[in-house]
Homo-oligomer: A and B are copies of this chain.
Amino acid sequence: FPAQDPMWGYFTAIAGQDGEVDAEELQRCLTQTGFSGTYTPFSLETCRIMIAMLDRDHTGKMGFNEFKELFAVLNGWKQNFVMVDRDCSGTVEPHEMSQCIANMGFRISPQALNAIIKRYSRSGKIYFDDYVACCVKLRALTDNFRRRDTMQQGMVNFQYDDFILCTMSL
């Protein structure tokens, strides 16, 4: 039960009165725990995308289970980034980013991969915050797509309102 989970006390302290964690609370928590280490702390923007990834009922907040799930996913991505960023400069190069995305199991055309990498670069390099934002978005959009691709045909028929709902939150 939550009460026995070592993370439960921590979660309730962050969540405050409403018992759920919103983007601003998440940003404070990730900054205070030093999650980003020597890298720049997460922007509010990235924290919003993190919430949106797990927030299937669109309340803009996370419960305890989502909170734990998020930490597990973030830890995996951080390990991946640290491994690629050998000189600890806090950035990875575009071709390393392609490798990262492929390693995560996403199958994306070179054209789309190029567009994505350009979008998340600054002066030709990808910083940790933008790397995480990119991973979170890619996972969430892929999840949204797969959940609708019930026949697993790699194709989905979107109504306009559903398309807007599942892309605007990310």
Q: Are B158 and A116 in contact (CB under 8 A)?
A: no
Query: In the complex, A158 Cα to B155 Cα: how many Å?
Result: 6
Interface bracket on A: 35 or more
Residue of A45, A134, A149 most packed against chain B (CB within 10 A) = A45
Count copies of this chain in the complex: 2
A18 in contact (CB, < 8 A): no
Question: How many Å lie between the Cα of A168 and that of B138 in the bound state?
Answer: 7
B168 close to A159 (CB less than 8 A): no
In the assembled complex, which residues on chain B have CB atoms less than 8 Å from the CB atom of A168?
A: 112, 115-116, 119, 134, 137-138, 141
Query: What would 4 more interface pairs be, CB under 8 Å, given A112-B165, A155-B160?
Result: A112-B161, A115-B165, A116-B164, A155-B158
